[in-house]
Amino acid sequence: MNNHDSHTDPSAAADPVDTALSALAAPRWSKEADWRSFQERLMSTRSFGWKKLGVLALLASGCFAAGAASGVAWERFTFSGVFRGANGQTANVQGEAIRTGDGKFEMRLHSDGKADISGGGTMDITMPDGGKAQIVTTPLNLAESKEVTLPDGRKVRVPKDFTDEQIKKIQVSPKYKGN
Amino acid sequence: MDAAAASLNATPEPTTAKASHQSPQAFGDVYREHYQAIAGLIYRRTGDTHVTEDLTADVFLAAYKSMEDYRGQVPPIVWIRRIANNRVNRWVRREIGFRGILRRLPLLSAFVAPETNTSEPRSAALNALLRLPIDQQEVLSAHYLEGLSLDEVALMLAISPAAAKSRLARARDALRRELTHQAKESRP
């Protein structure tokens, strides 16, 4: 480190400036870093990029949504919460978010169907550790979507550029199969 | 002196910082590594536990948000110290400015709490420090309170080492005048 000649020299010890500076330098911060607590604060203030989240696709069945988020804290987490649609209706939701790489998340969302989640709205969710976040979803653009029929007979609407692989992921999601 | 201060001269770690932006978990490593140094810096300049906790959180929040802009020109600790300095400076301007305005208003001056207990050496010193111009507070804090060398101070303040040295000398003189003035005021 450095040498502070002016205030390490014993002959200068009586200098009031050095005395004052020594007194100011004395206090130590004793609290430990609490990353968990800080992380929760970030999440609760929506500072982890939740605002950036736009749901890429809300399937017309009202049962599933696949989305992407950037900067979310966990690699994988489940959540539950309440969706408030643009028309004022609400629905209970639960889902799972999984990091897919490139800082993006894919979200699978199950709604109890009491609100049209394809119309966009806000979703207040609770994380497994109690943290809160609000996700703003954008309405599904019908012009940019296509309807596909899943093997179990359900007809769902997905973004036009959804690949077969992405559609397959919806089909194989065991947690929500049958909804 | 915080041990973390010793890492200031470490080799820049742009990849770490960039990774931190991509992964909040990686930012957790940055947070844990530098928390003590940053909180200590803020505490020594503000002397207030609650202000320190709030400002420290603000500093890391700002660092996280602007991680995208960090290009690794300086080590992460220097970059975070700059953010911390800016936050503390802003707090000092607001705090000292507000007190000053109230003291100049005759009807309100009686209700303004004393800045510090000037009979206690550290409080008196802090009182004097906070009355100095911000740039002088910064340089004194960095060199004497945080234990940074003149080269490190220059790097953190983005000035030349020669400028850091002369600013430090001016700051010491100003602090001496302020302490003298304060001593005269406190005499019965």
Q: What is the ipTM of this complex?
A: 0.76
User: Residue B88 maps to which CATH number?
Assistant: 1.10.1740.10
Q: Within this chain, do residues B99 and B169 fall inside the same structural domain, yes or no?
A: no
User: Can you say how many angstroms the Cα of residue A14 is from the centroid of all Cα atoms in its chain?
Assistant: 57
- Residues of chain A with C-beta less than 8 angstroms from the C-beta of B148: 2
Domain boundary among B113, B139, B158: B113
Chain A interface test: which of B33, B52, B64, B77 (most A C-beta within 10 Å): B64
Question: Which of B70, B98, B113 is the last residue before a domain boundary?
Answer: B113
Q: What is the pLDDT of residue B84?
A: 94
Domain span at B127: 117-188
Check CB contact of B22 with chain A, cutoff 8 Å: yes
Q: Do B129 and B78 sit in the same domain of this protein?
A: no
List pLDDT tens digits, range B32-70: 889 999 999 999 998 888 889 989 988 988 888 777 777
- CA dist B12 and B73 (Å) reads 7
Confidence of residue B161 (pLDDT cuts 50, 70, 90): very high
Q: Which of B95, B113, B131 is the last residue of a domain?
A: B113
B138 and B91 in contact (C-beta within 8 Å)? no
Ranges of beta strands (E only) in A22-87 are 54-58, 65-68, 76-85
Q: Tell whether B130 is covered by a domain.
A: yes
Q: Say if residue B16 is in the same domain as residue B103.
A: yes
Residues in B touching A19 (Cβ below 8 Å):
121, 125
Q: Once rounded to an integer, what is the mean pLDDT over residues A23-28?
A: 87
Say if residue B109 is in the same domain as residue B16: yes
Q: Which residues of A touch B (CB under 8 A)?
A: 1-4, 6-7, 16-17, 19-21, 23-29, 31-33, 35, 38-39, 41-42, 45, 47-48, 71-73, 75, 103
Binned at pLDDT 50, 70 and 90, residue A100 comes out as low
Residues B36 and B97 in one domain: yes
CA dist list (Å): B105 to A14, B92, B98, B102 = 38, 20, 11, 5
Kindly state whether residue B61 falls inside one of the protein's structural domains: yes
Tell me which chain A residues have a C-beta less than 8 angstroms from the C-beta of B126: 24
Q: Lowest-confidence range among A58-62, B21-25, B172-176? A: A58-62
Residue B6 domain-assigned (yes or no): no
CATH of residue B145's domain is 1.10.10.10
By the CB < 8 Å criterion, does B35 face chain A?
yes
With cut-offs at 50, 70 and 90, classify the pLDDT of residue A112: confident
In a domain, B159, yes or no: yes
Q: Are residues B91 and B161 in the same domain?
A: no
Pair B105, B29 in one domain: yes
Q: Do A31 and B39 touch (CB under 8 A)?
A: yes
CA distance, residue B25 to nearest chain A CA (Å): 7
Q: Do B149 and A1 touch (CB under 8 A)?
A: yes
- In chain B, how many domains are there? 2
Q: Which of residues 124-143 of B touch A (CB under 8 A)?
A: 124-126, 128-129, 140-141, 143
C-alpha B15/C-alpha B76 separation (Å) is: 10
* pLDDT score of A56: 32
The pLDDT value recorded for residue A84 is: 86
Q: Name the closest residue on chain B to residue A70, using Cα atoms.
A: B22
Using a CB-CB distance cutoff of 8 angstroms, which residues of chain A are in contact with residue B39?
Answer: 29, 31
Please tell me whether residues B21 and B101 are part of one structural domain: yes
* Together in a domain, B102 and B15: yes
* Average confidence (pLDDT) over B104-131: 65
- Element housing A155 (H / E): strand A155-159
Residue B5 lies in a domain: no
Same domain, B128 and B148: yes
B82 and B139, same domain (yes or no): no
- B99 and B145 part of one domain: no
Residue with more model confidence, A155 or B20: A155
**B147 CB within 8 Å of a chain A CB:** yes
The contacts of residue B24 (CB under 8 Å, 6+ apart) are A39, A42, A48, A71, A72, A73, B64
Residues B138-162 have a mean pLDDT of: 92
The stretch A103-124 carries a mean pLDDT of: 74
Output the pTM of the full model: 0.55
Is B82 domain-assigned?
Answer: yes
Identify the three-state secondary structure at position B173.
helix
Give a yes or no: residue B157 inside a domain. yes
Asked if residue B19 belongs to a domain, the reply is yes
